């Protein structure tokens, strides 16, 4: 029987998440009571009503009512959302139940790219020049008035889905038409952002916000240039190899963005660029890093007097923070680490992946996880948003880690039907 003295976490897991195992197993290890909330019912929900619940993620206020009703029977001590929609729902639930969390306005601003740009610009955070347009507008007229190169992006799709660069009016019109189809297929807002393309290397900043203060958990370089026309991500490596002043400027930019959006509590994942003009905030999400990428973040406490270390995952820090449990330490382990989101090899149906054993045998590679299943249709960017798998490596230097990721990827062969 559940022990009432154990705190209960309400974990908002969309059914399309990569994150279930990482969060569920961490919760078990911590010995807390866990309730998983999803937007679709589990087949066990009626049998285990204290452990599984369905919430309407599309309507945060209604979800908060459902959560409040649940909490009357099973008191909740913390709430965590793992994706963009879940972050908004978690914020509203936290407000309703008096739990640690973000103001709903902050979570909403982090989710909507236009609201976010507007708030950041209003607070003086450097963002690309942007305009909001509707897909019902005349594409040729917009193309004639645009500055090039520019980037067209939907307001809410994740994983750079639908994000397209245009270098001239002809490219703009083609991108506009393609983005229209993507947005219509996804059934989301018919508004888009058109913004200046910002040249320069891109980084990802992972952080945990505690009482409004950003604690930086990791700064990842993205060594493959993200110059378009599409923006499928590949390699993340930490620590960053950018000069220290650039890193400090990027972190200050992240701190300013957190303050501008009003983010108060929980994980953030921000994407920034750096060039001769300084740092640029591209996007900030009030959620942890996506996919299986959190695997590479490991936090360590070195016991004094010997080499034995305890390590903690990002999920453990997030759960502990949400429940107000002591945080063991926020310092990432010393070794370099990296992940490759395996690029989609092309459009088609996957039959098999060869060379996994050989890829795993590459020195420094810790794992190769193929998440696409045989028979699955692989869809390249910008229509797609699902990586066929992930490669993880750890080593003494970022260069060595990056080399290992590339070598392992070179040993994989995707066989399509």
Q: Which residues bind other proteins (CB under 8 A)?
A: 13-18, 20-22, 24-25, 28, 34, 36, 38, 42-44, 47-48, 51-52, 83-84, 158-159, 290-291, 309, 311, 356-357, 360, 363-367, 369-371, 373-376, 385-386, 394
**Least Å distance between CB 389 and other proteins?**
9
- Of 135 and 372, nearer to other proteins (C-beta) is 372
**Least Å distance between CB 366 and other proteins?**
5
**Least Å distance between CB 66 and other proteins?**
17
- Of 251 and 370, nearer to other proteins (C-beta) is 370
- Of 11 and 192, nearer to other proteins (C-beta) is 11
**Least Å distance between CB 198 and other proteins?**
21
Contact 59, 66 (CB under 8 A): no
- Of 34 and 235, nearer to other proteins (C-beta) is 34
Distance of CA 38 to the CA centre of its chain: 18
- Of 114 and 161, nearer to other proteins (C-beta) is 161
**Least Å distance between CB 385 and other proteins?**
6
User: In the 3-class helix/strand/coil scheme, how is the chain assigned residue by residue?
Assistant: CCCCCCCEEEEECCCCCCCHHHHHHHHHHHCCEEEEEECCCCCCCCCCCCCEEECCCCCHHHHHHHHHHHHHHCCCCEEEECCHHHHHHHHHHHHHHCCCCCCHHHHHHHHCHHHHHHHHHHCCCCCCCEEEEECCCCHHHHHHHCCCCEEEEECCCCCCCCCEEECCHHHHHHHHHHHHHHHHHHCCCCEEEEEECCCCCEEEEEEEEECCEEEEEEEEECCCCCCCCECCCCEEEECCCCCHHHHHHHHHHHHHHHHHHCCCCEEEEEEEEEECCEEEEEEEECCCCCCCHHHHCEEEEECCCCCCEEEEEHHHHHHHHHHCCCCCCCCECCCEEEEEECCCCCCEEEEEEECHHHHHCCCCEEEEEECCCCCCEECCCCCCCCCCEEEEEEECCHHHHHHHHHHHHHCCEEEEC
**Least Å distance between CB 304 and other proteins?**
17
CA dihedral 69, 188, 292, 242 (to 10 degrees): -120
Q: Which of 143, 179, 135, 145 is nearest to 161 (CA)?
A: 179
**Least Å distance between CB 371 and other proteins?**
6
- Of 102 and 160, nearer to other proteins (C-beta) is 160
Residue linked to tokens 């370099």: 336
**Least Å distance between CB 40 and other proteins?**
8
**Least Å distance between CB 163 and other proteins?**
13
**Least Å distance between CB 23 and other proteins?**
9
- Of 46 and 304, nearer to other proteins (C-beta) is 46
Residue linked to tokens 């690029």: 343
Strand 8-12, strand 78-81: pairing: parallel
- Of 160 and 240, nearer to other proteins (C-beta) is 160
- Of 133 and 335, nearer to other proteins (C-beta) is 335
- Of 251 and 391, nearer to other proteins (C-beta) is 391
């Amino acid at each position: 029987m559940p022990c009432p003295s154990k705190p209960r976490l309400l974990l908002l897991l969309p059914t399309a998440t990569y994150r279930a195992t990482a969060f569920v197993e961490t919760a078990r290890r911590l010995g807390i009571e866990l309730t998983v909330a999803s937007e679709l019912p589990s087949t066990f929900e009626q049998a285990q009503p204290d452990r599984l619940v369905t919430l309407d993620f599309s309507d945060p206020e209604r979800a908060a009512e459902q959560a409040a009703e649940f909490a009357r029977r099973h008191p909740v001590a913390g709430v965590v959302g793992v994706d963009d929609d879940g972050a908004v729902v978690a914020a509203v639930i936290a407000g309703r139940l008096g739990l640690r969390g973000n103001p709903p306005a902050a979570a909403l601003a982090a989710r909507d790219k236009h609201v976010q740009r507007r708030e950041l610009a209003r607070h003086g955070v450097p963002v690309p020049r942007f305009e909001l347009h509707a897909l019902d507008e005349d594409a040729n007229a917009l193309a004639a008035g645009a500055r090039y190169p520019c980037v067209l992006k939907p307001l809410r799709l994740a994983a750079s889905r639908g994000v397209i660069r245009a270098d001239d009016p002809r490219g703009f019109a083609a991108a506009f038409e393609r983005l229209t189809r993507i947005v219509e297929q996804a059934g989301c807002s018919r508004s888009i952002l058109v913004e200046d393309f910002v040249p320069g290397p891109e980084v990802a900043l992972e952080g945990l916000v505690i009482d409004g203060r950003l604690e930086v958990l990791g700064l990842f370089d993205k060594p493959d240039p993200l110059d378009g026309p599409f923006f499928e991500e590949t390699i993340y490596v930490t620590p960053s190899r950018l000069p220290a002043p650039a890193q400090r400027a990027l972190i200050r930019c992240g701190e300013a963005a957190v303050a501008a959006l009003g983010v108060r509590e929980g994980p953030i994942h921000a994407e920034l660029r750096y060039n001769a003009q300084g740092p640029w905030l591209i996007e900030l999400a009030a959620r942890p890093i996506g996919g299986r990428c959190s695997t590479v973040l490991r936090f360590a406490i070195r016991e004094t007097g010997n080499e034995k270390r305890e390590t903690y995952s990002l999920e453990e820090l997030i759960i502990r923070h949400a429940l107000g449990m002591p945080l063991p330490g926020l310092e990432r382990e010393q070794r370099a680490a990296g992940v490759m989101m395996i690029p989609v090899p092309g459009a088609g149906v996957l039959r098999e992946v060869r060379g996994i054993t050989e890829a795993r045998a590459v020195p420094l590679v810790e794992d190769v996880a193929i998440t696409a299943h045989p028979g699955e249709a692989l869809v390249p960017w910008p229509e797609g948003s699902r990586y066929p798998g992930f490669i993880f490596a750890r080593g003494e230097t970022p260069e060595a880690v990056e080399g290992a990721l590339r070598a392992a990827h070179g040993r994989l062969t995707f066989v399509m039907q």
